[in-house]
């Protein structure tokens, strides 16, 4: 009995060693709007594959500059199509891995449950002092917000009250902290994945007011774990991942 138990432990140890020998670790740069969804998808991917995923969150524009400078990322999940496309053109991205993993939705959101109305008319009022908007040069959601204001002919009227954030993540933080009463953020940042009501109040900006936010993924050419990186990008189209993507308010 003792011998059998020892052999069992040995078998488990050998299995663990074999598993770890084939496991990889990848560094994934994630657009701030997709942070919550990416964490859930990465956890599922790790469970299913044994690979480890390290996530970094921030503005797409900043990630582009870092990757161009040689930052050791294996995958970029951008908030737009243009940035991954530029990386491919620059020879920094693997062409065959370029794909749209989500289509985002822009919303005007407030932590105050009574501030934002269903048509966004609050933007024309004096009920607020500060509007949080991500830097349009770095964050595609910031560009979408600027397009929305222009379409509504409100740019000049609200310009003095805009607080510029370096990413859509910081734009949300400004509203959550009370530094801004309103903010243009991603639906995926404020919509609970369990289907419960969105906290605060919000207006879903009509799609016709801004360019569709198609978010692309790409494997970075300099990756040291090409198989795991490509597998992660492929995983974004899996049934499990798409369930998460949909739950956070994105389409594809």
One domain for residues 58 and 116: no
What are 31's two structure tokens?
A: 């657009």
Q: Is residue 61 part of a domain?
A: yes
- Is the domain of 175 the same as that of 242? no
* 161 lies in the same domain as 97: no
* Number of domains comprising the chain: 2
Does residue 209 lie within any of the structural domains? no
Q: Does one domain contain both 129 and 222?
A: no
Same domain, 64 and 93: yes
- Tell me, yes or no, whether 10 and 99 share the same domain: yes
Question: How far apart are the C-alpha atoms of 221 and 231, rounded to whole Å?
Answer: 14
Q: Could you tell me the pTM of the whole model? A: 0.83
Report yes or no on 200 lying in a domain: yes
**Is 252 inside a domain boundary?**
no
Q: Domain of 160: which CATH number? A: 3.40.190.10
> Do residues 152 and 60 both lie within one domain?
no
Q: Looking at the domain assignment, is residue 194 inside a domain? A: yes
Q: Are residues 69 and 113 in the same domain?
A: no
Regarding whether 132 and 49 lie in a shared domain, the answer is no
- In the three-class reduction of DSSP (H, G, I as helix; E, B as strand; rest coil), residue 164 is classed as strand
Whether residue 113 is found in the same domain as residue 186: yes
pLDDT in tens, 7-33: 544 444 444 444 445 689 999 999 999
Instruction: State the residue range of the domain holding 154.
Output: 106-204
User: Three-class SS of residue 197?
Assistant: coil
Asked if residue 205 lies in contact with residue 148, where contact means CB atoms within 8 angstroms, the answer is yes
The tens digit of pLDDT for each residue in 148-204 reads 999 999 999 999 999 999 989 999 999 999 999 999 999 999 999 988 888 999 999
């Amino acid at each position: 009995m003792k011998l059998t138990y020892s052999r069992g432990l040995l078998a488990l140890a050998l299995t663990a060693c074999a598993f770890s020998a084939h496991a990889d670790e990848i560094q994934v740069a994630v657009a701030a709007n997709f942070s919550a969804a990416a964490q859930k998808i990465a956890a599922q991917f790790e469970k299913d594959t044994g690979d480890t995923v390290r996530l970094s969150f921030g503005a797409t524009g900043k990630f582009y500059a870092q990757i161009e400078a040689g930052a050791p990322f294996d995958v970029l999940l951008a908030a737009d199509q243009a940035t991954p496309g530029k990386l491919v053109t620059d020879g920094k991205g693997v062409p065959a891995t370029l794909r749209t993993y989500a289509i985002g939705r822009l919303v005007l959101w407030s932590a105050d449950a009574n501030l934002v109305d269903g048509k966004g008319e609050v933007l024309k009022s004096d009920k607020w002092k500060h509007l949080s908007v991500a830097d349009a040069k770095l964050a595609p959601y910031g560009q979408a917000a600027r397009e929305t204001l222009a379409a509504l002919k409100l740019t000049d009227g609200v310009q003095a009250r805009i607080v510029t954030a370096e990413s859509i993540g910081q734009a949300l933080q400004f509203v959550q902290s009370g530094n801004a009463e309103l903010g243009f953020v991603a639906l995926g940042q404020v919509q609970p994945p369990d289907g419960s009501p969105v906290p605060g109040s919000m207006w879903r900006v009509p799609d016709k007011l801004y360019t569709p936010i198609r978010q692309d993924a790409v494997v970075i050419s300099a990756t040291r774990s090409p198989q795991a990186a490509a597998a992660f990008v492929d995983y974004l189209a899996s049934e499990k991942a798409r369930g998460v993507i949909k739950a956070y308010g994105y389409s594809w």
